[in-house]
Amino acid sequence: MSEEEKAEITKIGVVGAGAWGTALAQQSANAGCDVTLWAREDEVVTSINERHENELFLQGVPLAKQIKATNDLAAMGSMDFIFMVVPAQFVRNVLSDLKQYISENAVIVLCAKGIEQSTGKLMTEVVAEILPKSPLVVLSGPTFAHEVAKGLPSAVTVASKYQRVARRLSDAIGLPTFRPYASRDVVGAEIGGALKNVFAIACGITTGRKMGENARAALITRSLSEMVRFGERYGAERATMMGLCGLGDLILTCSSPQSRNMSLGIAIGEGKTGEEIMSGRRTVAEGFHTSSILAKICKDEELDLPIIMAVNAILHEGKDIDTAIMDLLNRPFVDEIENKN
Name the residues annotated as catalytic. 196
Amino acid present at 292 = S
Do 26 and 149 touch, CB atoms closer than 8 A?
A: yes
Among 60, 110, 112, 62, which Cα is nearest to 86's?
A: 112
Among 136, 134, 138, 70, which Cα is nearest to 103's?
A: 134
CA distance 262 to 152: 22
Question: DSSP readout, 274-308?
Answer: HHHHHHT-SS--HHHHHHHHHHHHHHHHT---HHH
Among 85, 95, 77, which Cα is nearest to 25's?
A: 85
CA distance 37 to 20: 12
* Per-residue DSSP letter, 75: G
Burial 68-97 (b: 16+ CB within 10 A, else e): bbbeebebbeebbbbbbbbbbbbbbebbee
Do 225 and 218 touch, CB atoms closer than 8 A?
A: no
Question: DSSP readout, 171-230?
Answer: HHH-BTTEEEEEES-HHHHHHHHHHHHHHHHHHHHHHHTT--HHHHHHHHHHHHHHHHHH
Do 170 and 31 touch, CB atoms closer than 8 A?
A: no
